[in-house]
A and B are shown apart, each in its own frame.
Chain A
Amino acid sequence: MISRRFVLAAVGLSLLAGQAMAEDWPSKPVTMIVPYNPGGTTDNLARLAADAIAAAIGQPVVVENKPGAAGVVGATLAAGAPNDGYTIFFGNNATNVVQPLINPNVSYDPLDSFDGVATTADAVVFVGVGAGTGMTDLDGFVSYLKANKTKFGSAGVGSMGQFSATYFLQETGTEAKHIPYQGSNNAVAAILSGEIEFMVDPAVTRQIDSDKMNVIAALSEERHPAYDSVPTAKEQGYDLSLTGWFGIFAPEGTDPEIIAKMSAPLADLVASDAYQDQVLKMGLLPTYRDAAATDAVVEKDLEVFTAIRDSAGISIN
């Protein structure tokens, strides 16, 4: 009996403590884990978000880079951190959705290990085709794919580039051979030299002006404002849509009030002119989703990417 009363008391106390925690939060600096090296795209976005949150909550938000294993090292750390609102994670669809799908050693779950806080940007995926194919639009390229043995490049088995290209091939009913490279930049170089024919990846945007590559379609709802010469797939009669996203997550079970305190300033940040300008320059789309919409996009992508994985048999082991 005593023990039961004790347990009840403990539960009551911890509930009270939880309440007090949300009200007191933040009483100390917040740590934001970034699963990549400083200076990269994800890190740049994370630092912008960290500054915005810090200004709103009146406590520093310290970015801690924990790179390794395609982001899994940092995500694993964050998933195991206490859910008291003092550790948050800046991830993307690769770390939060794709890695748990393909890597059996990943211990965290896309839905059960994290609560979404907000997204701050989307990455538009483009189709880049080597100029040697002579193709300048989707219709032409799809018939080229049907008539010729074609090869596409990616940053390796399980990379976003492999997923995107597989999705593109499935939806257009075509086939091509996957050639893996060490990083998507080397795959871009291989298109320029004519070693492979195409790639479905945000990295091709830097070649829009190149005479060795034609960037023929954006897999987004609307044209990207910074690359508005590239038509969308939808404009060309293909219902293709695949975007990557970047966002903040808290360990599962973090108080919703704390999460709300962090997502509110991010809405203002994403709406600001300076942020819009900078993120567009980076080749991304400034896109805000609140906590619920972030959870929803994870759930939706989980379905999409599971389907791609299963039909193409993508896994690392």
Chain B
Amino acid sequence: MIDNLLLGFQVALSWETLMFCFAGVSIGMFIGVLPGVGPLAAISMLLPLTYYISPTDALVMLAGIYYGAQYGGSVASILMRLPGTASSAVVCMDGYEMTKNGRAGAALFLSAVASFIGGSIGILLMAGFAPVLAEFALKFGSQEYFLLMALGLVAASTLSEGSAVRGLAMVVLGVLLGIVGLDITSGSMRFVYGQFELMDGVSLVASAMGLFGLGEIITNIGQGNRPAPSGKVTLRSMVPSKQELRDSLPAIWRGSAIGSFFGTLPGTGSTIASFFSYATEKKVARNRDRIGQGIVEGIAGPEAANNSAAQTAFIPTLTLGVPGDAVMALLLGAMIVHGVTPGPQMLAETPEMFWGLVASFWLGNLILLIFNIPMIGLWVSMLRIPYRLLYPAILVLVVIGTYSIRYSIFDIYQLLGFGVLGYVLRLLSFPAAPLVLGLVLGPLMEENFRRSLMLSDGDFSTFVTRPISGVLFGCIVLVFLVQIVPPLLRLMRKTPQNSSKEA
């Protein structure tokens, strides 16, 4: 492995490759900061240009855009409650609260550090165990996917602050919205009303941007003026306290583990990873009682998770030739056009490319970290831009970003609809994050549930008899019990006391 990594760094440190790496991660970060504009649009626009450079340089740059966007995505989430990418939607909750508490600098700093550590762990796993991890991922069939998603929903049913019933209601609403579109299992069009754009389902980006971003803007207009965040950026406000650092480290480890796992599974990815990490923090973080009120774990965990997922997502793509999401499919296409065939032979046939990529990932992460910290002051000072100038500009960016996903005016209407919904939900104090989670997990769950039963000819025992599915089922039961038993015990302890009093 050391030899391989040396070979990789030889490739990645060549002056040209380093330049393309730098270009890639800077573009990625910038794209990530812009609300709604995702790496998919940026990579597809730059793809034709890369036909004129060497395959390794091309991939180093395009991959840099992909993981660079994960760094940038949290900036707008933290500062303005506006997710830059769907995977940073959860960071809005604690990130924006920290900004309101005047800790924007510290939040951004922690998010950069968590991203770096998460990304580095993902890269280490990729360097050391890519083929093994790919084998492991293949052990997850439809049954396991379904149970994983179910576990996520059970664990996250109380994702946000406040009433559990409200959170659950929002998860259900999200799952229901996820039903819209062409059902691949039966070929029926559900709630499409002859609108072709709805055949592909409700837009995830439009919902995240609308519920969080637009909802926030409308709320602020309603309140007349935004509560002025303390705009002064001193070095002190930028550096997290020792206690904050100590609290966030365990969250970073947990987030990295969760992210690395979901990145490896094709079809899941950084958005699901960050939600799972947040749900975990809600249960185990030291400050879990105050989650949603601006605690560092709520930022560090999900940020480490989505960055490590962005790195390990390369494992199935490179070692199996199976891309996990749309961006990976695009990168795979780019490799093929460049004459590189990703798959089991890639490690043996083009080792300099594989290891060059791995090394460049780490250099890219390092560049992003070094690049990000001095930028914090600049980002925070954006908060001093008067509300009447900043928000119209953001509105335009959100609309452009949503449009850029598939060049569709219809998606802008969806954005507006979700904006209004987001505002109404805030007035009624219903949390928005569980809705987005339901929208992400719902369709995946349904598809895998029905496929599992098709595969087993309708036999439900398929969910417990396979080794991994059995373990997952056990986990769900455990989580369920953990949530339900303590309140029940409390109730039971109360009842005898009450009865003895009465007696």
Interface of A toward B, CB cutoff 8 Å: 37-41, 43-44, 47, 64-70, 72-73, 76, 102, 105, 151, 155-158, 177, 179-183, 185-186, 188-190, 192-193, 195-196, 206-207, 209-211, 278, 281-283, 314-317
Contact = CB atoms under 8 A, between A and B. Distances in A.
B343 A155 contact: no
Contacts of A67: 406-408
B478 interface: no
Nearest to A39: B44
Contact of A209 (B142, B182, B344): B344
A90 B177 CA distance: 32
5 contacts: A105-B194, A180-B185, A183-B329, A195-B141, A211-B344
Nearest to B317: A185
B455 A209 contact: no
B197 A157 contact: no
Contacts of B47: 38-39
Contacts of B321: 188, 206-207, 210
A317 B188 contact: yes
B322 A185 contact: yes
B235 interface: no
Contacts of A193: 138-141
Given A181-B184, A192-B322, A193-B138, A38 B44 contact: yes
B344 A180 contact: no
B451 A180 contact: yes
A72 B184 contact: no
Contact of B187 (A44, A151, A156): A156
B142 A192 contact: no
A69 B196 CA distance: 6
B197 A158 contact: no
Contacts of A47: 48
Contacts, number: 140
A186 B141 CA distance: 11
Q: Which of A65, A155, A192 has the most CB of B within 10 A?
A: A192
B337 A281 contact: yes
Contact of A39 (B187, B192, B197, B330): B330
Nearest to B45: A38
Contact of A69 (B48, B185, B197, B342): B197
A76 to B, nearest CB: 7
Given A72-B199, A206-B341, A282-B336, A179 B322 contact: no
Interface in B321-339: 321-323, 326, 329-330, 332-334, 336-337, 339
B277 to A, nearest CB: 24
A65 B196 contact: no
A306 B483 CA distance: 54
Interface in B25-68: 40, 43-45, 47-48
A38 B407 CA distance: 10
Nearest to B323: A185
Nearest to B140: A193
A43 B41 CA distance: 13
A315 B187 contact: yes
B316 interface: yes
Nearest to B196: A69
Contact of B329 (A43, A177, A185, A278): A185
A283 B337 CA distance: 9
A37 B447 contact: no
Contacts of A281: 336-337, 339
Interface in B183-226: 183-189, 192, 194, 196-197, 199-200
Given A47-B48, A281-B336, A316 B197 contact: no
Contacts of B140: 193
A294 to B, nearest CB: 25
8 closest A-B pairs by CB: A157-B187, A156-B184, A39-B44, A38-B44, A316-B187, A69-B199, A69-B196, A193-B138
